[in-house]
C-alpha cells in the first residue's frame, strides 16, 4: 500500500513550496539587468508584498488546520499542516538572504542616478538639520512611546505596521521594553532637498528613539513589524436571512482580521538574545517565526518614488510607457453593439485598451433598446468607471442587476462601499451563493428591437477593474451569440435562486460544469494517443483529479503543454508518468492572468477561455464560467497567443522534474510580452476585409514571431 501511495506522490509537489518557488522568480526579475532600475526595485517590493500575503493567508490557514485537524494530510505530498509549516519556515531565510543581495545591488544601481536611501549616518550637516527639524515639528508631536510593564499592558500590534522597540534599563539597572508605533499618518519616506535622495521615516524614528524614554537608558534599538493570520472564515450558516445582515456580518469579520494570531515577527537587524526574547514574548511567537530582514520591512513606498523624480530620470529608470491600443478591427465611429452583432470580438489586455468595453457599457446605459444589464463583480477599481456607468444606467431606468462578491479577499471593504452606492442608484445588488464564492466574469445586455429579444454577452478571464486591466494580461470576449446569451440569462436566474446545477448549451459553469468538460476533452485527446494535444494556460494547477487525468494523458502519449504562472503541483518529465508534459512559466512586466484551454490540433481544435484556474477551490468550491470560442479568427488569435508564449526565451522558465525552475535561454531572445506590445493580433481578422485570410498563415506575422524582441 505504501508503494502505491509513494507512486501517487512521485509526480506532484506541495502547493505552498511551489508558490514560494514562483515568488522567487518574481524576485529574479529584480536581478535582471535588462529591467530598468526603478522597476527592479518594484519587483523587490512585489516579492515582499507577495510574501506578506502568503503568511497572512496560506501560513495562517495552515495553523488553523494544524489546530483543528492535525492529522489531515496534503493530497500531493502526504504532509500534515504542521509538516508543511516546518518546510515553509525552513525555506524563508534563504529567500530573505537572496532578497537582501538583490536589493543592495539595485540600490547601488539607483544611486548612480541620484536615487538613494540615505542612512542617518551619511547625512550632510545641512541635511541633518533638515531632518532634525522635521522630526521635532512633524514626527515628535504624533509619537506615542510606551513602556511595557506591570502598569502598561502590551499594546495591540497591527499587521504590517512598523514599530520601533528599545531595550531599556532604568536607574536601578532593571530591564524594560519600550515601544513606539510609527504613525500611519506620516509619509513612509522624507525626501531631501535634492531630487531622488530620501530618508525612510522609520530610520528617523530609530535614531531619535533613545531620547523618548526620559530617565531610561536605551541599550539597543530596532524596528519590527508583525504579520497576522488574515484568513477570516465566512460561516454562512450564522448569517441572517437578509442581505443587510450579511453585509453587517462581513464588516464585523473584517474587524476580526486585525485581531487574529501572529504568524511572523520581522526585525530590521540582529539584536541580543534577551531583547529578542522580550519581543518574542510580547508577540507570542516561537523562535522559528522570527526573521531578520535588513531590507526595509515595508517596501510599498517603492511605488511612490517615480512621482518625485524629474521627467528624464523617470523615463530612464522605468519601463517605456505603454497604452493599450484601440483594436484595428473595431471602428471608433460606429456603435459597439452594432459591431458585436456582426462578429464576435475579443480584447487582449493590457495590450488592447479596456475602452471598447467601457464604450459598450456606456452605449447600453443610454440605448433605448437595451432593457437590462446584468453583471458579476469580484474586484473593482477604487474609482471604478464601470460601477459609475452601472449607476447611471439604473438612474436612466434600465434594470441593472449586480451579483457582487463581498468575500473577495482584501477587497471586501471596497466592495462593501460600492454595493451601497450601487443600491442607492437603483441597482439590484445580490451577494452570491451560500458557501460558494462567485468568481465568474460575465456581463449580459438584454435588448428588445422590433419585437425580438437579443443579447450581447461579455465573458472575461479577469476582473472588471480598469487599474488591473492595465497591468494584468487577460482576455475579454464580446459576442451576440444567441445561445451564449440565453445561457447567460439562465446563469443569472440560477444564481438568484441558488441553483448550482443549471443546464447550459454552451457555457460551462463550475462547480459542476468545468471539471466535467475538462475530463471530457482530455479523454478525447487520450483516445487519439500520440496524435493528441493539450495546451492550457492558467495561473495555477492544484486539483488532484485534473493532475491525475493529465498524467493519464501523458501516459497515453498525448503532448501536454502547460503555461502556468504560479503554483504548479504537477511535476513534468517523470519517467513513465509525466514525461510528455512540459511546463512553462512566464514572469515579466505584466502579471500573466488569462486562462485558455486548448484541446487538439488544426481546425478541429476546441478552445475555451475561462475565469477558472485548475485549482480545487475554482473547480469545486466557486462559481466560475468557461466559454467555448467558435469563431475561426478568434481561435487563431488564441493559437497565436499560446504559440508566442511557448516560444518565449526571455521571461520564461521551464519547470523541472525536481520542482525547480530553469530559465529558458536562447541566442535570439524572444520576449512574448514585448512582442504583444509591438504586434496587434487584430490586423486582417475582420470579415469585412477580403479576401479572408487565415491569421496563422499570414506571412507578416510569422516573420514577426521569428524576430527577437526585447525591451
Examine residue 324 and state whether it is found in any structural domain, yes or no: no
Q: Are residues 285 and 392 in the same domain?
A: no
In the three-class reduction of DSSP (H, G, I as helix; E, B as strand; rest coil), residue 66 is classed as helix
In the three-class reduction of DSSP (H, G, I as helix; E, B as strand; rest coil), residue 609 is classed as strand
Chunked into runs of 10 residues, the chain (711 residues) has average pLDDT values of 65 96 96 96 97 93 88 93 96 97 97 94 94 97 89 86 94 89 96 87 96 92 95 44 48 56 96 96 95 96 89 92 95 96 96 97 96 92 89 95 77 76 90 82 95 96 92 97 97 93 95 97 98 98 97 98 97 97 97 97 94 95 96 95 96 96 86 95 58 40 47 40
Q: Are residues 458 and 524 in the same domain?
A: no
Residue 212: per-residue pLDDT: 95
Residue 122: per-residue pLDDT: 94
The last residue of one of the domains, among 496, 520, 536, is 496
Q: Are residues 123 and 230 in the same domain?
A: yes
The last residue of one of the domains, among 317, 347, 374, is 317
Q: Are residues 406 and 468 in the same domain?
A: yes
- Supply the range of the domain harboring residue 387: 336-496
The last residue of one of the domains, among 250, 285, 317, is 317
Strands 197-200 and 189-191: what pairing? antiparallel
Q: Are residues 83 and 213 in the same domain?
A: yes
**Omega prior to 663 cis, within 30 of 0:** no
The pLDDT tens digits of the residues spanning 236-278 come to: 333 333 344 545 555 555 455 456 789 999 999 999 999 999 9
Q: Are residues 535 and 448 in the same domain?
A: no
In the three-class reduction of DSSP (H, G, I as helix; E, B as strand; rest coil), residue 635 is classed as helix
Examine residue 655 and state whether it is found in any structural domain, yes or no: yes
Catalytic residue among 67, 156, 439, 682: 439
Q: What is the pTM of this model?
A: 0.90
Q: Are residues 15 and 75 in the same domain?
A: yes
Rounded to 10 deg, the angle between the 632-647 and 699-706 helix axes is: 20
Examine residue 397 and state whether it is found in any structural domain, yes or no: yes
For position 344, which CATH number holds?
Answer: 3.30.870.10
Q: Are residues 616 and 644 in the same domain?
A: yes
Residue 7: per-residue pLDDT: 77
> How far apart (Å, rounded) are the C-alpha atoms in residues 546 and 570?
10
Q: Are residues 521 and 488 in the same domain?
A: no
Alpha helical stretches, state H, 609-689: 616-620, 632-647, 672-678
Q: Are residues 312 and 443 in the same domain?
A: no
Examine residue 469 and state whether it is found in any structural domain, yes or no: yes
For position 78, which CATH number holds?
Answer: 3.30.1840.10
Examine residue 501 and state whether it is found in any structural domain, yes or no: no
In the three-class reduction of DSSP (H, G, I as helix; E, B as strand; rest coil), residue 497 is classed as coil
Examine residue 480 and state whether it is found in any structural domain, yes or no: yes
Residue 410: per-residue pLDDT: 62
Q: Are residues 303 and 450 in the same domain?
A: no
Residue 439 annotated among the catalytic residues of the structure:
yes
Count: domains in the chain: 3
Examine residue 476 and state whether it is found in any structural domain, yes or no: yes
Examine residue 519 and state whether it is found in any structural domain, yes or no: yes
HEC assignment per residue over 336-377: HHHHHHHCCEEEEECCECCHHHHHHHHHHHHCCCEEEEEEEE
Q: Are residues 308 and 358 in the same domain?
A: no
Amino acid at each position: 500500500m505504501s508503494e502505491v501511495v509513494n507512486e501517487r506522490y512521485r509526480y506532484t509537489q506541495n502547493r505552498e513550496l511551489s508558490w514560494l518557488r514562483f515568488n522567487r522568480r518574481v524576485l529574479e526579475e529584480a536581478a535582471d539587468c535588462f529591467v530598468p532600475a526603478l522597476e527592479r526595485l518594484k519587483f523587490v517590493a512585489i516579492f515582499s508584498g507577495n510574501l506578506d500575503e502568503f503568511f497572512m493567508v496560506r501560513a495562517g490557514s495552515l495553523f488553523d488546520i494544524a489546530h483543528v485537524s492535525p492529522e489531515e494530510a496534503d493530497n500531493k505530498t502526504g504532509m500534515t499542516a504542521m509538516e508543511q509549516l516546518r518546510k515553509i519556515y525552513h525555506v524563508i531565510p534563504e529567500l530573505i538572504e537572496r532578497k537582501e543581495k538583490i536589493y543592495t545591488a539595485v540600490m547601488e544601481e539607483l544611486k548612480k542616478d541620484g536615487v538613494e536611501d540615505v542612512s542617518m549616518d551619511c547625512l550632510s550637516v545641512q541635511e541633518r538639520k533638515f531632518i532634525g527639524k522635521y522630526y521635532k515639528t512633524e514626527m515628535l508631536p504624533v509619537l506615542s512611546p510606551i513602556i511595557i510593564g506591570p502598569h502598561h499592558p502590551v499594546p495591540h500590534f497591527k499587521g504590517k505596521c512598523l514599530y520601533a522597540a528599545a531595550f531599556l534599563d532604568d536607574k536601578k539597572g532593571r530591564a524594560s521594553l519600550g515601544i513606539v508605533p510609527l504613525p500611519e499618518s506620516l509619509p513612509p519616506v522624507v525626501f531631501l532637498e535634492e531630487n531622488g535622495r530620501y530618508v525612510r521615516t522609520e530610520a528617523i524614528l530609530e535614531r531619535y528613539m533613545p531620547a523618548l524614554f526620559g530617565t531610561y537608558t536605551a541599550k539597543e534599538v530596532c524596528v519590527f513589524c508583525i504579520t497576522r493570520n488574515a484568513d477570516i472564515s465566512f460561516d454562512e450558516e450564522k448569517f441572517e436571512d437578509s442581505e443587510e445582515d450579511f453585509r453587517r456580518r462581513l464588516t464585523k469579520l473584517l474587524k476580526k482580521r486585525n485581531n487574529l494570531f501572529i504568524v511572523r515577527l520581522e526585525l530590521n537587524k540582529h539584536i541580543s538574545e534577551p531583547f529578542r526574547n522580550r519581543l518574542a514574548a510580547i508577540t507570542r511567537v516561537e523562535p522559528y517565526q522570527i526573521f531578520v530582514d535588513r531590507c526595509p520591512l515595508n517596501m510599498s513606498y517603492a511605488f511612490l518614488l517615480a512621482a518625485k523624480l524629474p521627467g528624464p530620470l523617470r523615463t530612464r529608470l522605468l519601463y517605456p510607457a505603454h497604452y493599450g491600443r484601440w483594436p484595428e478591427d473595431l471602428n471608433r465611429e460606429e456603435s459597439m453593439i452594432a459591431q458585436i452583432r456582426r462578429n464576435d470580438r475579443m480584447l487582449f489586455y493590457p495590450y488592447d485598451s479596456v475602452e471598447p468595453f467601457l464604450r459598450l457599457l456606456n452605449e447600453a446605459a443610454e440605448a433605448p433598446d437595451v432593457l437590462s444589464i446584468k453583471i458579476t463583480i469580484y474586484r473593482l477599481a477604487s474609482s471604478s468607471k464601470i460601477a459609475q456607468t452601472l449607476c447611471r444606467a439604473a438612474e436612466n431606468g434600465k434594470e441593472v442587476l449586480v451579483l457582487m462578491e463581498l468575500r473577495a479577499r482584501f477587497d471586501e471593504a471596497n466592495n462593501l462601499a460600492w454595493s451601497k452606492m450601487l443600491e442607492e442608484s437603483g441597482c439590484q445588488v445580490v451577494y452570491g451563493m451560500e458557501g460558494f464564492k462567485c468568481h465568474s466574469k460575465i456581463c449580459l445586455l438584454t435588448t428588445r428591437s422590433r419585437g425580438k429579444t437579443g443579447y450581447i454577452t461579455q465573458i472575461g478571464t479577469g476582473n472588471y477593474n480598469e487599474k488591473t486591466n492595465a497591468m494584468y494580461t487577460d482576455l475579454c470576449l464580446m459576442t451576440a451569440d444567441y445561445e451564449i446569451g440565453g445561457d447567460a440569462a439562465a446563469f443569472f436566474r440560477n444564481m438568484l435562486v441558488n441553483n448550482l446545477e443549471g443546464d447550459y448549451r454552451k457555457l460551462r459553469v463550475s462547480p459542476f460544469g468545468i471539471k466535467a468538460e475538462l475530463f471530457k476533452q482530455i479523454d478525447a485527446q487520450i483516445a487519439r494517443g500520440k496524435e493528441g494535444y493539450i495546451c492550457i494556460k492558467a495561473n495555477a494547477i492544484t486539483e488532484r483529479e485534473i493532475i491525475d487525468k493529465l498524467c493519464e494523458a501523458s501516459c497515453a502519449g498525448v503532448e501536454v503543454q502547460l503555461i502556468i504562472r504560479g503554483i504548479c503541483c504537477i511535476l513534468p518529465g517523470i519517467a513513465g508518468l509525466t514525461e510528455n508534459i512540459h511546463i512553462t512559466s512566464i514572469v515579466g512586466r505584466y502579471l500573466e492572468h488569462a486562462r485558455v484551454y486548448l484541446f487538439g490540433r488544426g481546425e478541429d481544435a476546441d478552445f475555451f477561455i475561462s475565469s477558472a484556474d485548475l485549482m480545487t477551490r475554482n473547480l469545486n468550491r466557486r462559481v466560475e464560467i468557461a466559454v467555448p470560442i467558435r469563431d475561426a479568427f478568434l481561435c487563431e488569435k488564441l493559437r497565436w497567443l499560446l504559440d508566442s508564449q511557448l516560444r518565449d526565451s526571455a521571461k520564461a522558465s521551464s519547470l523541472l522534474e525536481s520542482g525547480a525552475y530553469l530559465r529558458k535561454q536562447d541566442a535570439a531572445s524572444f520576449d512574448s510580452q514585448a512582442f504583444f506590445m509591438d504586434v496587434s493580433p487584430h490586423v486582417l481578422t475582420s470579415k469585412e476585409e477580403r479576401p479572408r485570410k487565415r491569421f496563422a498563415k499570414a506571412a507578416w506575422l510569422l516573420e514577426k514571431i521569428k524576430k527577437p524582441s526585447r525591451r
